[in-house]
Amino acid sequence: MRKSVKRTTWALVLLFALCSQGAKTQVSDPGNRSAHEFVESFFQWYVQRINSDIPDRFWDSALKYKRSSFSPQLFELLKEDRNAQARCICLVGLDFDPFLYTQEPAERYVVGRITQKGQSYMADVYAVRHGEQRGKPDETAEVAEKKNH
DSSP notation for 40-89: HHHHHHHHHHHTSS--S-HHHHHHHH-GGGB-HHHHHHHHHHHHHHHT-S
User: Which CATH number characterizes residue 45's domain?
Assistant: 3.10.450
Contact 90, 8 (CB under 8 A): no
In a domain, 127, yes or no: yes
The range of the structural domain enclosing residue 29 comes to: 10-145
In a domain, 1, yes or no: no
Give the residue with greater pLDDT, 29 vs 134.
134
CB atoms within 10 A of CB 58: 18
If one counts the domains in the chain, the total is 1
Mean pLDDT of the 49-55 span: 71
- Each residue of 59-79: pLDDT tens digit? 788 888 888 888 899 899 988
Rounded CA gap, 39 and 11, in Å? 10
